[in-house]
Amino acid sequence: MSDDGRHALTLIALLGSVFSPYYAAARSRGLGMGEPLDHCAMNVALYGPRASHWALTERRRTAVTRSPSALQIGPSAMRWESDDLLVSFDETTSPFPSLLPTRLRGQVRLIPHSAPPAPVRLDAAGRHLWTPIAPIARAEVTLSHPELRFSGSAYLDANAGDEPLEDAFTGWSWARATTGEGHRHPHASAAHDEVAVSYQVERRDGSRLRIARTFDRRGDERELGAHALRPFGRTGWGLSRSIAVDPGTSPHLVRTLEDTPFYARSLASATLGGRQATVVHEQLSLERFQCSWVRFLIPFRMRRAT
């Protein structure tokens, strides 16, 4: 998220694109779990004050190169340079909603400002792990298509699983909240001293996992103080959204960044620890994702490289 709040960028490297209808079809044809490396993608989403851009091209294993410090998926790559993560991408936007695909090309340098906490088991069997690698970070973004530069608060995490998400969960909501200090210090050396992350997981067996923690630059974490889950409106597709906030306060929707039948990404404002915070939030319904009509629509938001 840029310091002035006007732009945001999300990058997701997918080794086994969990929401791919082609990956799901491979499993349903009796091919076991399918081959994850035949369904890889570098998802790039750019949000601006006037327009947004979305790119997701699924590629086969021949387009993937991996090492302990680098990952290449087609024309896009992530690699560690000392303690920084450098991401370069050159992708084509998906055909929907625009009928004229455009290029998304640029580079991001992510500079961690916190030590990585230990992985968290999301399910009782330990088949799904979440690792908040850098809860506090800065990002320097340089794009050539479209031409744009900005820097701001950033975050890096990883999810890993040994089975499809819908086998273990019915849905989840995730949120990362930062207070306003970063907006008052636009230089790259400035970063938030503490962030709050909440993860509300609904398991397939009916149990729940509730995570609400603050992280600081040293990598220390503690449970978030008294808080309550409060809704902040449904999406256009009817997904409900809620955020952990101070008791007696209510969150407010600032902008819906992504609105799909089974997934939403949003920007909200909320009060945490007595301070006003900017919240990046995601809501996922895996019950919706399993619907045949939803899987019919997904290819309109992605490409499949041949």
Place of tokens 């791919």: 20
Which pLDDT tens digit goes with each residue over 240-278? 999 999 999 999 999 999 999 999 999 999 999 888 999
Which pLDDT tens digit goes with each residue over 212-234? 999 988 878 899 888 999 999 99
Q: 156 phi and psi, to 5 degrees? A: -140, 130
CA-closest candidate to residue 243, choices 203, 193, 279: 279
Q: What DSSP line would sit under 147-159, residue for residue?
A: EEEEEEEEEEEEE
Alpha-carbon torsion (151, 272, 120, 26), positive or negative: negative
- Asked if residues 237 and 260 have their Cβ atoms less than 8 Å apart, the reply is yes
The Cβ of residue 31 has, within 10 Å, a number of other Cβ atoms equal to 10
Over residues 78-91, the mean pLDDT reads 97
Q: Give 229: exposed, middle or buried? Use CB within 10 Å, 0-12, 13-18, 19+.
A: middle
Helix (H) or strand (E) holding 287: helix 286-289
- Identify the pLDDT of residue 190: 46
pTM: 0.91
Place of tokens 């090309």: 105
Report which DSSP code applies to 247: T
Instruction: Tokens for 42, please give them.
Output: 């570098």
- Residue ranges of the domains in the chain? 8-304
- Asked if residues 53 and 10 have their Cβ atoms less than 8 Å apart, the reply is no
237 SS3 class: coil
Q: Tell which wins on pLDDT, 183 or 200.
A: 200
Q: 207 phi and psi, to 5 degrees? A: -80, 170
Tell me the pLDDT of the chain averaged across its residues: 90
Instruction: Tokens for 139, please give them.
Output: 């990002």
The length of the chain in residues reads: 306
**Cα–Cα distances in Å, from 136 out to 38, 62, 101, 218?**
33, 34, 34, 10
Question: CA-CA distance, 151 to 174, in Å (whole number)?
Answer: 23
- Asked if residues 190 and 180 have their Cβ atoms less than 8 Å apart, the reply is no
